[in-house]
Amino acid sequence: MAEVGAESNPLRVAIIGSGPAGFYTVSNFFKQNELRVELDMYDRLPTPFGLVRAGVAPDHQKDKSVMRAYDKSAANANFRFFGNVEFGSHITLEDLKKYYHQVIFTTGAPVDRNLDIPGEELVGSHSATEFVAWYNGHPDFANLAFDLSQESVAIVGMGNVAMDVARILSKTPEELAETDIADYALEALRESKVKNVYLLGRRGPAQAAFTPPEIKEMGELIDSDVTIPADEAALDAVSLEYVENNPDKNADKNIGYITDYAARERTDKKKLLTIRFLVSPVELIGEGGAVVAVKIVKNEAYKSEDGSVRPRATEVFEELPAGLVFRSVGYRGVSLPGVPFHESWGTIENDKGRVQTSDGEPVTGLYTAGWIKRGPSGVIGTNKTCAQETVQCMVEDLEAGKLLSPEDTGKDAIEALVRERQPQVITYEDWKTIDVAEVRRGEAENRPRVKFTNVGDMLAVLGR
């Protein structure tokens, strides 16, 4: 028999997860011109693209244009998509080992880290990820409810997700009606009574995690003013020294916008977004089992031994009224059956994408890429180089003969097993039918698309 990777004996690879890391794995493999590879992608959801569909803010349509590139990869005859198929349920690792030479896990970091403070369990306390998935129409979160009758909302964190949540809560229904936000979320936000949004960051302006375009957007909201307490917008001596010795164009731009917002006067806009720096929540205060306020402590910046600027708590406390609280302080992956996992890091045990045991021994044939590999860092495009590194390892291992030994490498055998285990499997052609239907629904309302948020509705479009 010809060597694995030859035209007559293709390298067979299973990809678990259809987000950016999964699709960049596909495109990187198809760039290996001397290699014949057949790629099968599995996802628990009927729809591909992961967080590009269910995580990117609906008012950031430009960021979703990357799906066109993924579409091109999916058009390759050596690619297949098995949607609505759950790893560990419909298909197991032992199953995959029987049909593939290599398996790569690109399942992301889908859950929020906790604040670990008293009151976090109160009604009205939520993870930002749940809210984002809800307004983006993720089928698993479509039935959630958030009490938008509250006048004041606090968001803990200043990363991309926290900024998205603050912006969505601060926008008018008319602004949101031009997006692909889920219909039920649009209606709920149309009835929203939210007037005050607090965005809370534990570090100072010079260390803010957001990017200049994100903070700039906050000052362009149609019916929401933005303000920052002057004393929190001003750089302390430690931060000033750090900025002078570590030039950063993005930090300079952020500081410029922050300084501008601190000097703005309140207008007659209906909502107010207040951005707070150097504050940390220490308790969620409840009444009748529901959150009514956030107790925060003022922080001060100090220079650590490694030269970085870090925050530490003072003895100054404050209470902010808030009937709804969203935490957005980091994300972690979820362990997968049979795959070595680093619990404290929330990532698969790996070295440059090669899965390994906790003792550092490589696990033949298993790989990982994306947030489940490296943790929740970077933007969508960061997954491209991340996947490239892993694919390079996979190609090296192929050349070294370090592969799984599948019993059957025929494409039909695994498809027959999948269809037996999950008759409602969704192919990429099925997804394109769903996609067309969503876009048509959106055209009638001058929107990019109107999403199906229920798996049953997606199946109905396919006549099932």
Taking the CA atoms of residue 264, residue 178, residue 211 and residue 105 in that order, the dihedral angle to the nearest 10 degrees is: 150
Residue 377's pLDDT is: 86
Of 3, 2, 12, the C-alpha closest to 408 is 12
Extents of the domains making up the chain: 11-110+333-426, 113-327
Q: Which CATH architecture has domain 11-110+333-426?
A: 3-Layer(aba) Sandwich (3.40)
pTM of this structure: 0.94
Helix (H, G, I), strand (E, B) or coil at 89: coil
Query: DSSP state, 235?
Result: P
For the chain, the farthest-separated pair of C-alpha atoms sits apart, in whole angstroms, at: 76
Helix (H, G, I), strand (E, B) or coil at 451: coil
**Cβ pair 38, 81 in contact under 8 A:** no
Q: What is the pLDDT of residues 397-439, one digit of tens each?
A: 999 999 999 999 999 999 999 999 999 999 999 999 999 999 9
CB atoms within 10 A of CB 29: 25
Residue 1's pLDDT is: 64
Cα(30)–Cα(52) distance, integer angstroms: 21
Q: The dihedral of CA 196, 200, 204, 208: what is its sign?
A: negative
**Cβ pair 131, 153 in contact under 8 A:** no
What are the structure tokens assigned to 267, written together? 């207008």
User: Phi and psi (nearest 5°) for 52?
Assistant: -65, -35
Residue 242's pLDDT is: 87
Residue 246's pLDDT is: 86
Cβ burial, residue 229 (10 Å; 0-12/13-18/19+): middle
Q: What is the DSSP string of 335-371?
A: --TTS-EETTTTEE-EETTEEE-TTS-EEEEEEE-SH
Residue 38's pLDDT is: 98
Q: What is the pLDDT of residues 230-264, one digit of tens each?
A: 999 999 999 999 888 888 999 999 999 999 999 99
Average pLDDT along the chain, 464 residues, taken 10 residues at a time: 89 98 98 96 97 94 94 97 98 98 96 95 97 97 97 96 97 96 97 98 94 95 97 93 89 95 96 98 98 98 90 97 96 95 95 96 97 92 96 97 95 96 98 97 94 97 95
Count each helix (H run) and each strand (E run) in the chain, helices first.
Answer: 17, 20
CATH 3.40.50.300 fits 113-327, yes or no: no
Containing 23, the helix (H) or strand (E) segment is: helix 20-30
For 266-299, give one letter per residue: b (16+ CB within 10 A) or e.
eeeeebbbbbbbbbbbebbbbeeeebbbbbbbbb
Tell me how many degrees the CA angle 90-91-92 measures, rounded to the nearest 5. Answer: 130
Cα(52)–Cα(19) distance, integer angstroms: 7
Of 272, 298, 50, 291, the C-alpha closest to 169 is 272
What are the structure tokens assigned to 3, written together? 């060597």
